[in-house]
Structure 1
C-alpha cells in the first residue's frame, strides 16, 4: 500500500470528503462514533479515510445489521458500543487501526437508512462513486456473504504430512498442502481469481462500481489477503501480477467511452441486488464518469448521443411469452423504467448485433433516423440525476416498416430467431430477431421494425479484393452457389423490402466514409428495434431488436421505399 501511494498511484489531490464518517479515535481505544466530515476540512490537510465494500446479506441479515436511522442518528454521534457492532464492522475497525487510518466510511452507518423517507439516501447514493474513488483504500470483504460474518476469521484449509526422501534419507521434514479452491480447468489461476471465483460478494450489484472506482483495494478472501491497484496485484503468498490496464476515461474519445459503458452494463446487469429499484443508483458512480467525459444526457442507463447503438440490447434469458411481456410493460408504465431501457429487464443483457463485432468506428456505423428526443422522469424528489426513474419516452423520426404477415419466425439450434420469407424458390432469410419474449406461437401481425443504425456491409473476405477505400464490389450472397449462410437460395423474384412497392428509392446521404458505403447500389448492415403498439395511438413498446445482414437478403434494402414517420416509444 505504501509503495503504491509513493511510486505508482499517488493519492489524488482532492478536497472531497463524504458527508459523514466514522471516527475511530486517535489512540484506538475510544468507541467509534459518527461525525460530520465537513468539520475536518478545517485541518491543514484533508484526512485519509478507508471505505468498506461488502455484502449486506439476505433480508433478515440486512434488517439486523448495525445501521444509522433517523431514530438513532444522535446516538450514533455519541458512539457505537461494541455489543451493537456487526462482525464486518468490527473487522473493518481492526483493519483501519492496524493501518493507522482513523476514519472509515460504511454505507449502512454513514447514510441514513430510512426507506420511508429516502431523501438522505437519494442524496448520498449519488456520491457513493466519489466516496470509493477518493478513499485511501477500500476494504473488500470477499469471503463473506453477510454483514454478520467475519472476514478476518479465516479457516485454514491445510493438510500437513511427514516426508522423507528415498534418494537421500537424511532429507526429511513436513509438507503442507493448502487448498486454493476448486479447479475449473482454467490453467494458471492467480490467487485473487481463486478467491473471487465463488465469492457472493463478487456477484453483488453495488459492489460492481465499488470495484471499478476504488483506487486501492485490500481484498480479504477465503484463502489469502490481496492488494490491488490499477498497476499491480499482490497476494499474501508473495505472488505479484500486473493488473489489467485501467481505463482512463479522459484518454478515450467519446465513441470509445460509450462502447466501454455498453460493455460494462452487460457485466453489471447480471449482478444481484436486494432492491430492483437500486439498479440505476448502484451504477450512478460510473455514469457520473461517463457524463464528465462526454457531457451527454443520461437516460435510464443509456446516453442521448449513443441511442443508435445503446438501444440495441437484448435479454437472452427471457421466460415470458409476448402477452406476459406486454402485461409486465403495462403494469410498470408510470412506475418503472421504460421498455426501451435495459433496466426494464431483470438479469443479463447482451449487445450481440453484428454492428458490435468490431469497434463501431471500424464498422462505419451511422445513425439512420433524422431526429430523436428522449426524456425520463426521476423517481419522487430524487436528487440523483443518475438515479431511479418512473417513466421515459423516446420520440424519433425514422423509417418504420410493418413485419410482413407472409413471414415466419424460426428458432435455430443456438436459440437465435430468424425471420424468413417464402418464395417460389424456397425461403430467404431477412433478419435475425432477438425478442424480449419466447416466440412460441405468437403471430407476427402488429409488430413493426424501426431502423436505427447501419454499418458498412462490405465483408472481410471482399475487402481483400478491393483497395483500402473499399472499392470491392459487393456480392449478394455468402457462397459461390448464390446461397446464404443457411444454404437457401436468394435467386428469388420477391422484393426483400418490407415497404410497399415504390417508384422512388431513397438514398442515404449520411456517413460518406468509403466508396462502398457511398454507392446506393450497396445495401448496409441494418439494426433496429422491434415494436408493438401500446394502448395510446402512436405509442409503442419496445419488445426486441433485429439485425439484418447486407450480404444476405436484408440489410438497409428492407427499408427501401419506406417513408419516415414520427413515433413514440414508452
Structure 2
C-alpha cells in the first residue's frame, strides 16, 4: 500500500514536469522534484489519532511531502467507546478506531454509537439540551404492541418532556417516495403507520432510534401537516425548539433521497496487524488531504445533505448529532467530533454552544468592528447560501430557527435587537455590504429583474442576501471602517405572524448618504490586458473621475458580454456610499487615497414603485470607489447637508 501511494505521487509529479507552466513554477522556482533516493520518515497522525504518517524530503530538502497516512483500528466491539468494550483500565493499548462494516446498522456498529452517547452524557456538561416539551406532533416508536407499526402522536395538550430524536435528510427529487402527512391522512396516521410502507431513510432512522433506546422520533414530512399553510408556518417557526431540544439528531448525510437509506456504505481495504495479543487489529489507508486538515472531516464535503439549505440549522441547532456518511459514521457534540475509524477533533464545526475546548469566534471578532455573535451569524449565512433550496420562498424560513436563537443571544448581550430579513438592526450598515459571488443561475439574471413586493415570485427585499439566488460573502467588517451613511428607518412585513422571522411580503430600509451617478468605462483592451484576471468584471466610473473606473460586483451577473454591457449602458446607475476606510488596523488615521464601500442602486420605475411618490431604489450590487474615482466630486462624502435620502426596497 505504501509503494502504491509512492507510485501515485511520482506519477503526479511527472505529469506536472511535462507541463511547461507547471515545470517552471513547481520545479524551477519552488524546487520541487523527484529525489534520486527517497528518504522516508514515520510520524504520529494528527489529532492524536491511532496510526502514522509517511513523510519524504523534496529534492532541495525545502519541503516535506505527505506520502501516505495509515490508521489502526480494531473490531467494533473492541473499540474504546463501544458499550460492549472488553477493555479495562489496566490495558496498555486502547484504540478509538473501529473496523468499518458494510452495514452501519449492525448491533456492533450501533453499540459504538451508543457508547459515544453514553460517554457524552456522563462527561460533557456542555452537551445537555435544554429541557423542552415534545414537539406538537411526534412519531411514537413504542406505542403499539406490534413493532412493525408506529403511530403519529399529538402532544399539543400534554405536558410531556421525554427524550426524542430528530432526522435531518434529503427528501429527494422523486416525489413518488415522499411521505407527507395531510389533512386527508392525519387521522389514519394518528391510529397507526406500517413501518414497511415508509421510505428506506425513515426505516433506517427508526432502527437507529430504537437501538439507542429512545421512544420518539421527529420527521418533518410526517410531523407537519404539509397541506396546511398555517401549520407549516407555525411548525417552521418552532424549528429552534424542536432541534435544540432533541436528545440527538440523526443526519442521513450520504442519502440523496428518502428512498436510498443511509446504513449501507462503501467498503474499505484492511490489512491485519499485530498490536496486542488480546485483540485483532487492522491497518487502513486515509486520504492525506483529510489527515492533514482536521476541518476537512467536519465539512462533509460531497455528501448530499451538505447541499441542502434546510440542513444548515438542522445540523447546528441540536446539541448532539450522529452522522452517517458515504463511508463511515461520525458523532458530533459541543465538546468533540469523533469518526468511526478513530479521529477525535476537539470543539465543533460552527458551534452554537461553545464547549470547554471551543474558542468560538473571539479571534475573528478581534479583527472586526462588530460582535463575535454577528461574525458567527455571517459565517453561517455564507455556508447557508452555498446550499440549495428547492422552494425559493423558503430561503428565510429555512434559517428562522437560527435567527430566533441569535436574536435571543443578541438581546441578552446588547439590549433590544431586531431581525431584519437576514440582517440585524444594530449592524445594518455592515449587513448591507454583503457581496454577491457565484450565481447559481444557468444564465445572467439582471438584478433589476428581482421581484418587488406584490409581484409574483417575491422572496425578500433587494438589499437582503436572501433575495440573491447565489453564493454571497458577508461580514465585511474589518476595523478602520467608519459609517458615512445613516440608517433612518426600516420595516419588514412577515407573510404570517405564525413565523415572524420567516417569509416576507414586504421590507424596506430608508438611508441617508452621498450618492453619485456612474457609467460604463470603455477604455482600450490594453488596459484590460495589463490588469489581468479581474478584467472579466465590468468597470464603472464617474463623470469627473478616473476613466479606468472600478470593478463592479453586480448581483446575478457573472462576467460581461454584449447583453450585460448593453444593460448597464441603458440603466440609470448610482453608487450610494455606506462606509469609508479611515483608519488602519492599528487605529492610526489613514492618509489619502481613501477607499469607500458603496451599494450599486437603481431607481424603481413609477410603474413598479411599492409606495407611489416614495423615493425608492433597488440594490443591484456593490462597488469599491477611491479618491481618484471621484476627483473633484470627492467633497460629496463630507457634505452632510447635501446627502440624499432614499428608500431601499
Query: Larger RCO: Structure 1 or Structure 2 (Cα < 8 Å, ≥ 6 residues apart)?
Result: 1
Deviations 1:289-312 (A, max 9, x none): 121122422222122222211111
Q: Does 1:350 align with 2:473?
A: yes
Contact 2:130/2:245, CA 8 A, preserved across alignment: no
Query: CA offset at residue 390 of structure 1?
Result: 2.4
Partner of 2:292: helix, strand, or coil? coil
2:622 to 531, 542, 545: 545
Assess if the C-alpha contact under 8 Å between 1:191 and 1:235 holds in 2: no
Tell me what 1:564 maps to: 643
Q: Following the alignment from structure 1 to structure 2, what is the Cα–Cα distance between the partners of residues 368 and 551?
A: 18
1:280-359 paired onto structure 2 within 5 Å: 280-294=396-410, 295-318=416-439, 324-329=446-451, 333=455, 335-351=458-474, 355-356=476-477, 358=478
Mark the CA change 1:372 to 1:16 in structure 2 (over 3 Å): closer, same or farther.
farther
Partner of residue 327, structure 2 = 223
Q: How does 1:53-132 map to 2 (within 5 A)?
A: 53-58=168-173, 60-61=174-175, 63-114=176-227, 117-132=228-243
Please tell me the root mean square deviation across aligned C-alpha atoms, in Å: 3.7
Contact kept, 8 Å, 1:333 with 1:391, in 2: the verdict is no
Aligned to 1:154: 265
CA contact (8 A) 1:65 1:147 kept: yes
Contact 1:269 1:347 (8 Å CA) reproduced:
yes
Q: How does 1:378-457 map to 2 (within 5 A)?
A: 378-379=494-495, 381-403=496-518, 413-414=533-534, 415-420=536-541, 427=546, 431-436=550-555, 437=557, 438=560, 439-441=564-566, 442-443=568-569, 446-456=572-582
Q: Unpaired runs of 5+ in structure 1?
A: 165-173, 464-468, 478-522
Provide TM-score, normalisation by structure 2. 0.67
Contact kept, 8 Å, 1:54 with 1:147, in 2: the verdict is yes
The answer (yes or no) to whether the contact 1:195–1:221 under 8 Å persists in 2 is no
Quote the Cα distance in structure 2 between the aligned partners of 1:52 and 1:195. Answer: 18
Q: Answer yes or no: is the 8 Å Cα contact 1:24–1:32 preserved in 2.
A: yes
CA contact under 8 A between 2:517 and 2:542: conserved in structure 1?
A: no
Give yes or no for the alignment of 1:198 onto 2:275: no
* Structure 2 residue aligned with 1:243: 347
* 1-structure distance, mates of 2:513, 2:129: 46
More helix by share: 2
Give the number of equivalent residue pairs. Answer: 486
2:597 counterpart residue number: 527
Give the CA deviation at 1:234.
Answer: 1.6
Contact kept? 2:127, 2:334, Cα under 8 Å: no
- 2:150 paired residue among 32, 55, 60: 32
User: Unmatched 5+ residue regions in structure 2?
Assistant: 1-116, 275-279, 355-359, 411-415, 607-612
Specify the SS of the correspondent of 1:384. Answer: coil
Q: Say whether the 8 Å CA contact 1:418–1:431 is kept in structure 2.
A: yes
- Partner secondary structure for residue 314 of structure 2: helix
Q: CA deviation at 1:27?
A: 8.5
